[in-house]
């Protein structure tokens, strides 16, 4: 099957139960004012999911406007580095699923185009969105501009500082960017404000939620629109590797790129699925953003999932060098995959992600997002534990234009840290002779 044919097929869909749950997780925990809107969205999506014309229009947008399919790229020099750090001097071949090459520079466009088409089907003229790293905000603004919708994006002021380039892009695309000054001024706070807006404007507004989080049916809808990543990767692997990969690795904040690439591989028991969270600066509460590794079940933004909480059960502050992973919760389907053991989850520190950010740039000429760098760091180490006959796919979820200034600042600060020159890292290239 060709990549174009893959794009034309409506997504695989595993429905949550009648309560909107994946196992123990998910559900609808929202004010009564939003229940009717969620039911309307669920019924509309149920019809759209069976409408060939809907998928034909989305396929046209994905192929002709968003630039799909994205390549599955064999990273020869990154593989060589993994082999060099292996005790056995063997490593799996590393492949990158290049979502950074999609229009707007990340996987987010797959979801925003789909939800913008749903907005038009509902007869609504205005969309809102939350954003952390800015990529979902840019993708929402792009879809809104293309389809003639009014657009407001909520973004924490700290994230707006870190991701100034994307703020400029959103405004250029005609979106209004509302900076949020409450709380930690990051993604959680932007989501809070977007939810408040939606409660007061639900009659004419659709909330284009950016990840596989929130109340049902959002986790299902966003996952379905993002499965194009995994469906392409699966078909491309069968051609390029003459089989399926041994492991698939993706970063996890809310978890949309990971859910998108994992889902088509879920039935393939021999394929390891590995999600990588933000380990921040330590395992201490408030110093990381790793709810699957260090959190506990709780309710956040309308659904039950793993959440980082303090001793009083309140949502805890989080930290990551990556604005897109700086979130205290995760999608309910990831929580279910963790509990059932179908996917495994780990965390990578700020330091290791910065090292991987430089490693990918210098070994392959690809400047990835800091979110993606977390997956690269763990993916390289995992590849070094496998053998030469195996294959590992990393979801390159986004490009790093937006992160260059922030990464430069963090690297400069780190260079002044006592002991930095002596710090050993297996994620750094050996100096050139």
Active site residues: 108, 130, 397
* Rg for the chain, CA atoms, rounded: 20
Report whether 277 contacts 292 (CB < 8 A).
yes
What is the residue whose two structure tokens read 């970063």?
251
Structure tokens, 118: 């749903």
Alpha helices in 11-134, H assignment, sequence order: 32-48, 52-60, 76-85, 108-122
For residue 329, the 8-state DSSP code is B
Q: Cβ atoms within 10 A of the Cβ of 202, count?
A: 17
Spatial separation of the C-alpha atoms in residues 364 and 429, rounded to whole Å: 12
Spatial separation of the C-alpha atoms in residues 69 and 50, rounded to whole Å: 23
DSSP string, 171-200: HHTTPEEEEE-STTSSHHHHHHHHHHHHHH
What is the residue whose two structure tokens read 């089989």?
243
Spatial separation of the C-alpha atoms in residues 252 and 295, rounded to whole Å: 14
Spatial separation of the C-alpha atoms in residues 285 and 313, rounded to whole Å: 13
What is the residue whose two structure tokens read 């595993």?
14
Pairing of strands 93-98, 72-74: antiparallel
Spatial separation of the C-alpha atoms in residues 379 and 249, rounded to whole Å: 6
Give exposure, 2-37, as e/b (b: 16+ Cβ within 10 Å): ebeebbbebbeeeebeeebbbbebbbbebeeebeeb
């Amino acid at each position: 099957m060709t990549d174009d044919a893959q794009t034309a097929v409506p997504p695989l869909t595993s429905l949550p139960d009648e309560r909107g749950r994946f196992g123990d997780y998910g559900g609808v925990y929202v004010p009564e004012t939003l229940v009717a809107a969620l039911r309307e969205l669920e019924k509309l999506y149920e019809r759209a999911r069976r409408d060939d014309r809907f998928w034909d229009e989305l396929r046209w947008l994905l192929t002709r406007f968003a630039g799909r399919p994205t390549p599955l790229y064999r990273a020869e020099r990154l593989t060589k580095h993994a082999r060099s750090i292996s005790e056995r001097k063997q490593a799996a071949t590393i492949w990158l699923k290049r979502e950074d090459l999609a229009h707007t520079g990340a996987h987010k466009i797959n979801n925003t185009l789909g939800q913008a088409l749903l907005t038009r089907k509902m007869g609504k003229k205005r969309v809102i969105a939350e954003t952390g790293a800015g990529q979902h905000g840019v993708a929402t603004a792009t879809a809104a501009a293309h389809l003639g919708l009014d657009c407001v994006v909520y973004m924490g002021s700290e994230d707006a500082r870190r991701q100034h380039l994307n703020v400029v892009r959103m405004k250029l695309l005609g979106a209004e960017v509302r900076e949020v000054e409450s709380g930690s001024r990051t993604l959680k706070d932007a989501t809070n404000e977007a939810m408040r807006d939606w409660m007061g404007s639900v009659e004419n507004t659709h909330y284009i939620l950016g990840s596989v989080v929130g109340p049902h049916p959002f986790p299902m809808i966003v996952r379905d629109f993002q499965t194009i990543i995994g469906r392409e990767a699966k078909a491309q692997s069968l051609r390029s590797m003459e089989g399926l990969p041994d492991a698939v690795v993706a970063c996890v904040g809310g978890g949309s790129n990971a859910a998108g690439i994992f889902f088509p591989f879920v039935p393939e028991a021999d394929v390891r699925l590995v999600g990588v969270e933000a380990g921040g600066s330590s395992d201490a509460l408030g110093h990381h953003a790793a709810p699957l590794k260090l959190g506990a079940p709780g309710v956040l933004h309308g659904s039950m999932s793993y959440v980082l909480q303090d001793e009083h059960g309140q949502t805890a502050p989080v930290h990551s060098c990556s604005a897109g992973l700086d979130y205290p919760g995760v999608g309910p389907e990831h929580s279910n995959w963790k509990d059932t053991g179908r996917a495994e989850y780990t965390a990578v520190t700020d330091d290791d992600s910065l090292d991987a950010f430089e490693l990918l740039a210098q070994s392959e000429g690809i400047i990835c997002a800091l979110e993606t760098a977390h997956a690269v760091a763990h993916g390289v180490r995992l590849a070094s534990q496998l053998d030469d006959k195996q294959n590992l796919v990393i979801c390159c979820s986004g490009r790093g234009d937006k992160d260059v200034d922030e990464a430069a600042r963090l690297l400069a600060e780190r260079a002044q840290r006592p002991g930095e020159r002596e710090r050993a890292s297996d994620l750094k290239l050996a100096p050139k002779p």
